[in-house]
C-alpha cells in the first residue's frame, strides 16, 4: 500500500530522482520554460515552489539551503538576482503547467512547465504568428466588390479618342543585302539569349 507517500517516485531510486529534479529545476530557472512529461512536471512543481519561496529572503543561510537542493552556482545566483525579485509580491504558485499533447513512441502526455511571471518568451513566440480567417465567402465578396468599383471608375475616366485619317507614306526600299545582314544579326542575338 502507498498510504502517506506524498511524492511520486517516477520509477527511479532516490538518488536518481533527486539528481533529475535538481537538474530540471536548474534548467527551469535558467530557461524559464521546460518541456517534459506531466508526471515529472508535477513532481518538479512540488520540488521548486519551496525553493523559490526560500529565495525571497536573500541571506547566506537561505543561499546555502537552496544550493544544497540545486547544486549549481549559476542557477542559485540567477534565482536570487532575477527570479526572486520578480516573484516578490506573489504569495505562491510560481509555476504553471501547459499540456501539449502526447509523445510519439510511448504516447506519454507531454507538457510545458514555466515560471508564471516570465511569459514574455511565450508572448514573443505567439505574437509573431497571426492567424488568418478561414471564411471564404465573406472575403471573396469584398474583394470582388472592390474590383468592380475600380473597374467602373476606370471606364468612366477614359474618354473616347478621335480617330484621324493617317496617310501612310511609302518608304524607300532598302537594299536586300542590308535586310539580310539585319536578319542574321538578330538571329545571333537570339541564339546568345538562349545560351
How many domains does the chain fold into? 1
Beta strands in the chain (DSSP E): 33-37, 95-102, 109-115
The CATH number of the domain where 68 resides is what?
3.90.1030.10
Contact 89, 56 (CB under 8 A): no
Residue 79 clears pLDDT 60, i.e. is over it: yes
pLDDT at 5: 87
Confidence bin at 75 (pLDDT 50/70/90): very high
Asked if residue 194 is part of any domain, the answer here is: no
In a domain, 7, yes or no: no
Of 25-34, 35-44, 155-164, 180-189, give the lowest mean pLDDT range.
155-164
φ, ψ at 192 (rounded to 5°): -65, -40
Domain of residue 71, residue span: 14-121
**pTM, rounded to two decimals:** 0.62
Residue 166, in any domain of the structure:
no
30 belongs to a structural domain: yes
Amino acid at each position: 500500500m502507498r498510504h502517506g507517500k506524498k511524492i511520486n517516485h517516477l520509477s527511479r531510486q532516490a538518488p536518481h530522482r533527486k539528481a533529475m529534479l535538481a537538474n530540471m529545476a536548474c534548467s527551469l530557472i535558467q530557461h524559464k520554460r521546460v518541456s517534459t512529461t506531466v508526471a515529472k512536471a508535477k513532481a518538479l512543481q512540488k520540488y521548486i515552489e519551496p525553493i523559490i519561496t526560500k529565495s525571497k529572503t536573500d541571506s547566506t543561510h537561505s543561499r546555502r539551503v537552496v544550493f544544497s537542493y540545486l547544486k549549481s552556482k549559476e542557477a542559485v545566483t540567477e534565482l536570487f538576482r532575477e527570479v526572486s525579485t520578480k516573484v516578490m509580491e506573489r504569495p505562491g504558485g510560481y509555476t504553471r503547467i501547459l499540456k501539449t499533447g502526447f509523445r510519439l513512441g510511448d504516447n506519454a502526455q507531454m507538457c510545458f512547465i514555466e515560471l508564471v511571471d516570465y511569459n514574455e518568451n511565450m508572448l514573443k513566440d505567439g505574437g509573431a504568428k497571426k492567424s488568418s480567417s478561414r471564411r471564404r465567402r465573406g472575403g471573396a465578396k469584398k474583394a470582388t466588390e472592390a474590383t468592380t468599383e475600380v473597374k467602373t471608375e476606370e471606364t468612366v475616366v477614359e474618354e473616347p479618342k478621335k480617330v484621324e485619317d493617317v496617310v501612310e507614306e511609302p518608304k524607300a526600299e532598302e537594299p536586300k543585302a542590308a535586310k539580310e545582314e539585319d536578319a542574321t544579326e538578330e538571329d545571333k542575338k537570339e541564339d546568345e539569349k538562349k545560351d
